[in-house]
């Protein structure tokens, strides 16, 4: 796991200057790689590659990056892990291509494969999570590659004739040629969704490499060339959907999961798991324990508020599997102390409320381990989100209502929450109610009303996904749609499958995986998601929906695998999600912080939001007349991010000594 950065472009500046520029880019990513640093440059071609390394395999100098292929043709800088590197070595040896290995890192295997098979075939052969840059010294082309599901991030853009790339936007910002302007369309979409959907970025001129994509850049070419090497949409279209018996499907999923967990448990550093006690993380821990050679370390976060507390369930699972379990209970003070760190952690504006417990559980795990397996991906692959069933119930009814009448019915439903909220506030003084929990029915009715206005399945999906689908607080919002362009799901899919596909290609990489990547990397922890092994994803995409949702039970097939390892009663419970009581805290311990942030916000970037309207929204929320925690948190996270641009805070203090010393940056001509 690492941070990567670099530049490509003939620069009139001296060789030392272009290297120093990339050194600054790399230094901004030190949290992603605290163990080693390296820069390689060829000034005659204008190429500079940089790397910050978190050493997981081969802890010695043989794993240093950027790394040359044995032939010298390719130079590589990589963020991530190639889980099937042992199988690739076997394939190379079978072809008689195995060199005299210098070490045991997966990057060395990758460079040898590049010599043997070329870039496209090598990437296609890799099983893993990765973002990489490959410089071909023969063709003088730079290839950026991102893993199939988008677990690892990669940004790029062209500024002043120079291509820049990096694991996070802060690396691009560190380069003197970068120009910092906000993209109004990206801000509009952020205010709707709570994240900036790919390929967009909050900064104009910057794009994200899409999952499963290769991007080729050349010095004199102003346009990138993009090529998909894997697509969930294409995999879902493949004929011959899986119609095996229940027993055969359970056996196959357990085999695939066991294989993925086994490969992802390979590490030369201490390893553990993040455990919520839900189906997904419990399944991963169960299969880790089934093949362990020592006690597995697990970590969870708890809250005093029982309606948000999953720690008790995680503790039961940990006890059953006899893991070395650590839990940390949080309160509003922990959240308040974390808020100043969030902009530097999440890089772009990001407002998934579970960002805070995700960071704090990562920091907790990082005190004891360097690698942690997670259950990310289970909901998207096996039908875990309630909106799948809700959309399937709503759409047949909506289709029978003429399109011209839907907006009127939607407005009628959406207007009801205001009356409910006022009546509730009149009947119960604020100090007698719990806030968000008491107002939740009204909030749901409002969301239902907005969803009923949808003209097609795409619009219904976005209305059900978006926490707040009308970004009216954006003063300079784009005239374009607040949502990304539509994707064309296979026509034969059900509403549930359509929604799941949209999640897999969008919400999963842009929200869920962004959240865990930034949170874990902020503390030098490598997170791994066995459920997102692309072989498991392909298997899940071929399953009929009845194997995912059956008899009112979500994630049916995954549950059957878990039930083979743990009593059903220990894990069967309603879905809670991983969140914090932000609505009530914005009325109490976080109210003053929110007010002061809005009042103090100034400058062009801050005034892209309607700050007066935002203050009114906070006043209404604080008084208990309405629940506006979603738009408030989204706007506050943007203002918090704007504030950090000129007043950056350190991501986190070192929490434990590293095994490896930090090495000096090496520059090769």
| The pLDDT of residue 436 is above 50 | no
Which positions ≥6 away from 563 have C-beta within 8 Å?
none
| The pLDDT of residue 50 is above 80 | yes
Whole-number pLDDT of residue 302: 85
Distance in angstroms between the alpha carbons of the first and the last residue of the chain:
25
Which positions ≥6 away from 456 have C-beta within 8 Å?
none
In this structure, what are the phi and psi dihedrals at residue 25, rounded to the nearest 5 degrees? -60, -45
| The pLDDT of residue 657 is above 60 | no
- Using CA atoms, how far apart are residues 461 and 501, in angstroms rounded to an integer? 11
Q: What DSSP letter does each residue of 568-611 carry, written as one string? A: GGGT------S---HHHHTTTTTHHHHHHHHHH--STTGGGB-H
Q: What DSSP letter does each residue of 171-209 carry, written as one string? A: HHHTSTT----B-HHHHHHHHHHSS--TT--SBTTEEEP
Which range, of 491-495, 585-589, 645-649, averages the lowest pLDDT?
645-649
Whole-number pLDDT of residue 609: 93
Whole-number pLDDT of residue 577: 58
| The pLDDT of residue 477 is above 90 | no
Residue pair 167/24 in contact by the 8 Å Cβ criterion: no
Residue 510 has what DSSP assignment? I
Which positions ≥6 away from 451 have C-beta within 8 Å?
394, 410, 460, 463, 464
- Using CA atoms, how far apart are residues 452 and 444, in angstroms rounded to an integer? 12
248 exposure class (CB count in 10 Å sphere: 0-12, 13-18, 19+): exposed
Question: pLDDT of 314-352, one tens digit each?
Answer: 999 999 999 999 998 888 888 889 999 999 999 999 999
- Using CA atoms, how far apart are residues 356 and 129, in angstroms rounded to an integer? 23
- Using CA atoms, how far apart are residues 1 and 17, in angstroms rounded to an integer? 27
Residue 455 has what DSSP assignment? S
Question: Residue 170: which pLDDT band, with cuts at 50, 70 and 90?
Answer: very high
Residue pair 137/73 in contact by the 8 Å Cβ criterion: yes
Which range, of 57-66, 298-307, 648-657, averages the lowest pLDDT?
648-657
Question: pLDDT of 543-580, one tens digit each?
Answer: 999 999 999 899 999 999 999 999 998 988 766 555 67
Higher pLDDT, 429 or 620: 620
**Mean pLDDT along residues 85-89:** 95
- Using CA atoms, how far apart are residues 154 and 350, in angstroms rounded to an integer? 16
Residue pair 111/70 in contact by the 8 Å Cβ criterion: yes
- Using CA atoms, how far apart are residues 36 and 51, in angstroms rounded to an integer? 8
| The pLDDT of residue 24 is above 60 | yes
Whole-number pLDDT of residue 659: 30
> Two tokens at 397?
């009814």
Question: pLDDT of 176-209, one tens digit each?
Answer: 999 999 999 999 999 999 999 999 999 999 999 9
Selected from 3.60.20.10, 3.40.50.300, 3.30.450.20, 3.40.630.30, the CATH number assigned to the domain covering 2-230 reads 3.60.20.10
Q: Whose structure tokens read 């802890």? A: 59
Question: pLDDT of 259-283, one tens digit each?
Answer: 999 999 999 999 999 999 999 999 9
Whole-number pLDDT of residue 141: 97
**Mean pLDDT along residues 10-22:** 80
| The pLDDT of residue 127 is above 60 | yes
Domain range annotation of the chain: 2-230, 234-320+348-384+498-570
Percentage of the chain lying above the pLDDT 70 cut = 87
| The pLDDT of residue 130 is above 50 | yes
Question: Residue 619: which pLDDT band, with cuts at 50, 70 and 90?
Answer: very high
Question: Residue 524: which pLDDT band, with cuts at 50, 70 and 90?
Answer: very high
**Mean pLDDT along residues 589-608:** 92
Q: How many helices (H) and strands (E) does the chain have?
A: 26, 18
Whole-number pLDDT of residue 656: 30
**Mean pLDDT along residues 300-311:** 74
What is the dihedral sign for C-alpha 251, 528, 60, 91? positive
| The pLDDT of residue 655 is above 70 | no
Whole-number pLDDT of residue 97: 87
Residue pair 34/81 in contact by the 8 Å Cβ criterion: no
**Mean pLDDT along residues 137-159:** 97
Question: pLDDT of 393-428, one tens digit each?
Answer: 989 988 888 877 777 777 776 666 555 555 545 444
Which range, of 168-172, 389-393, 623-627, averages the lowest pLDDT?
623-627
Question: pLDDT of 90-110, one tens digit each?
Answer: 999 999 987 888 888 999 999
Q: Domain 234-320+348-384+498-570 in CATH: superfamily?
A: HUPs (3.40.50.620)
Of the candidates 219, 209, 94, 195, which has an alpha carbon nearest to the alpha carbon of residue 153? 209
- Using CA atoms, how far apart are residues 449 and 427, in angstroms rounded to an integer? 24
Q: How far is CA 451 from CA 387, 399, 466, 467, 533, in A?
A: 11, 13, 10, 12, 33
Beta bridge partners of 37: 52
């Amino acid at each position: 796991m690492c941070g990567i950065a670099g530049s490509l472009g003939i620069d009139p500046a001296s060789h030392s200057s272009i290297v120093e520029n990339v050194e600054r880019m790399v230094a901004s990513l030190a949290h992603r790689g605290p163990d080693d640093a390296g820069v390689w440059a060829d000034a005659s071609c204008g190429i500079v590659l940089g790397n910050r390394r978190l050493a997981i395999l081969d802890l010695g100098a043989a794993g240093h990056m950027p790394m040359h292929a044995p032939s010298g043709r390719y130079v590589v800088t990589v963020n991530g892990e190639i889980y099937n590197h042992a199988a690739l070595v076997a394939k190379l040896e079978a072809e008689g291509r195995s060199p005299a290995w210098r070490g045991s890192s997966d990057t060395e295997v990758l460079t040898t494969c590049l010599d043997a098979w070329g870039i496209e075939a090598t990437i296609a052969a890799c099983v893993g999570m990765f973002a990489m840059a490959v410089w071909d010294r023969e063709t003088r082309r730079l290839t950026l590659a991102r893993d199939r599901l988008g677990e690892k991030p990669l940004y790029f853009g062209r500024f002043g004739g120079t291509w820049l790339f990096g694991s996070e936007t802060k690396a691009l910002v560190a380069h003197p040629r970068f120009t910092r302007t906000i993209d109004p369309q990206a801000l509009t979409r952020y205010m709707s969704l709570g994240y900036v959907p790919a390929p967009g970025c909050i900064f104009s001129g910057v794009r994200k490499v899409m999952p499963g994509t290769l991007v080729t850049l050349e010095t004199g070419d102003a346009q990138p060339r993009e090529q998909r090497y894997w697509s969930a949409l294409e995999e879902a279209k493949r004929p011959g959907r899986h119609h095996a018996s229940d027993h055969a499907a359970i056996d196959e999923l357990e085999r695939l999961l066991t294989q993925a967990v086994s490969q992802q448990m390979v590490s030369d550093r201490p390893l553990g798991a993040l455990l919520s006690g839900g189906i997904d993380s419990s399944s991963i821990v169960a299969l880790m324990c089934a093949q362990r050679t020592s006690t597995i370390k697990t970590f969870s976060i708890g809250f005093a508020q029982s309606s948000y507390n999953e720690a008790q369930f995680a503790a039961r699972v940990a006890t059953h599997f006899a893991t070395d379990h650590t839990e940390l209970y949080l309160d509003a003070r922990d959240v308040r102390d974390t808020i100043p760190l969030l902009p530097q952690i999440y890089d772009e504006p990001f407002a998934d409320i579970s960002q805070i417990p995700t960071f704090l559980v990562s920091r907790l795990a990082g005190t004891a381990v360097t690698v942690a397996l997670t259950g990310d991906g289970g909901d998207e692959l096996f039908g875990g989100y309630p909106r799948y069933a809700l959309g399937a119930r709503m759409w047949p009814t909506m289709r029978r209502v003429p399109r011209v009448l839907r907006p009127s019915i939607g407005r009628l439903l959406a207007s009801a929450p205001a009356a409910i909220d006022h009546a509730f506030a009149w009947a119960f003084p604020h100090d007698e109610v719990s806030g968000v929990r008491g107002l939740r029915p009204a909030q749901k009715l409002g969301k239902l009303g907005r969803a009923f206005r949808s003209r097609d399945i795409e619009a219904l999906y976005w209305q059900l996904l978006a926490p707040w689908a009308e970004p009216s607080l954006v003063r300079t919002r784009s005239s374009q749609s607040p949502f990304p362009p539509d994707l064309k799901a296979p026509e034969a899919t059900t509403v549930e499958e359509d929604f799941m596909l949209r999640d897999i290609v969008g919400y999963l990489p842009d929200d869920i995986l962004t959240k865990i990547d930034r949170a874990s990397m902020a503390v030098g922890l490598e997170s791994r998601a066995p459920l997102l092994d692309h072989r498991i994803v392909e298997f899940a995409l071929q399953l009929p929906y009845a194997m995912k949702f059956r008899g009112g039970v979500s994630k049916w097939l995954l549950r059957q695998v878990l039930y083979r390892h743990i009593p059903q009663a220990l894990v069967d419970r309603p879905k809670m999600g991983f969140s914090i009581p932000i609505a009530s805290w914005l009325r109490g311990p976080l109210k003053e912080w929110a007010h002061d942030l809005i009042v103090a916000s100034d400058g062009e970037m801050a005034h892209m939001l309607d700050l007066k309207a935002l203050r009114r929204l906070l006043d209404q929320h604080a008084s208990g007349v309405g629940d506006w925690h979603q738009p408030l948190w989204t706007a506050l996270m943007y203002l918090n991010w704007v504030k950090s641009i000129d007043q950056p805070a350190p991501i986190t203090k070192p929490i434990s000594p590293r095994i490896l010393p930090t090495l000096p940056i090496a520059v090769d001509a």
